[in-house]
Amino acid sequence: MRLLRSISSIAALATVAGCASTGATYKSGVAPKSFDRPPFYTGASAAPDARRIVHLPIRYQRGAEQAGLFEPKGDSGSAATSLIAAMNTYLDSLAISTRLTATVAEVGTAPDVHFGCLAGIGGDCIGDGEPDQTNRQLHLSVGRPSADWISWFGSSLDSTRHDGALVIALELGQYWPRQKGLSIHKEVRLGTDYAVSIPWLTSLEKPVTVVQLTGALVGRDGRAVRIGAEGLMAKRSNLLASALGAQRLVTDDDIAQLRTLQREDLPGAPLVWQVALRNLVSRLLAQAPATER
């Protein structure tokens, strides 16, 4: 994994060199924030009028965590594409916001929300393999969109009465495992009122790969107003791999299983991704949790 992240880091540096302003957190609208526990949100606390907010189709951001080659496929017919389609249908059905109908195809780079461990120069999580828990926080930030995206976005809103939009992505991240209270049990805190247990031999000094939803409420000027993240599932390593400090890659099969994974801790055992998506949208809009219609 160290090599994979290094490859990803080199690719990211090359992208930044080609467009120094895009992706920078400076003047992105929301300052980065660190967390020890969920909920993972920051930005304006005032609730906007949801009637004046649209949403862009949810996208799969392959390669957000490492080189895309090592992440689930995103092409036509893939498990990720099927999950994204189900998510978009569900988001539309919530009727909290309306989908943006743009007459011109989207261009440029949208605001990029990143959530997970703080990455060092080599691409590894800072604190990886170290007993000191000082750097075990998770970091939430948003990168500034490109100028052509801001122009496209503003023009798309000009013909509407809307003032902003929700921009949501499915991607991978690295979360720190935690000791569960005073017991020997361990868990990964994924999001709002949601944590999953992991094998007790899992090293607390190594991050765990998580499938997550990240999102931003974006104003007409392209700057983020509020950002957040909700984890969906943690990739559990087998006991031997965990004891050796190794991580397993998230596969297409994992994404396929995620589509039907249920929250057994909630009444009616709703789907994990539906609960997470409702929480994400509601909290980005600073509202009470949305309910199904």
Confidence of residue 66 (pLDDT cuts 50, 70, 90): low
Name the amino acid, one letter, at 194.
Y
Q: How many domains does the chain have?
A: 1
Residue-wise pLDDT for 191-240, tens only, equals 999 999 988 877 888 899 999 999 999 999 999 999 999 999 998 755 45
Residue 291 resides in a domain: no
Share above pLDDT 90 across residues of the chain, in percent, rounded to a whole number:
57
Residue-wise pLDDT for 16-50, tens only, equals 333 446 778 888 999 999 999 999 999 998 767 87
Look up residue 89 and give its two tokens. Answer: 């249908």
Q: List strands edge to edge, sheet with 33-35.
A: 33-35, 138-143, 112-116
Domain span at 209? 2-284
Query: Residue 15: pLDDT above 50?
Result: no
Residue 158 resides in a domain: yes
Residue 203 resides in a domain: yes
| Beta strands per DSSP E along 98-182 | 98-99, 112-116, 138-143, 164-175, 178-179
Residue-wise pLDDT for 261-283, tens only, equals 999 999 999 999 999 999 999 99
Residue 219 resides in a domain: yes
Residue 210 resides in a domain: yes
Per the CB < 8 A criterion, the answer to whether 238 and 54 are in contact is: no
CB atoms within 10 A of CB 69: 11
**Which residue from 115, 276, 114, 125 is spatially nearest to 196, judged by alpha carbons?**
276
Look up residue 99 and give its two tokens. Answer: 């989908």
Residue 214 resides in a domain: yes
CB atoms within 10 A of CB 101: 9
Residue 124 resides in a domain: yes
pLDDT for the residue numbered 11: 38
Residue 30 resides in a domain: yes
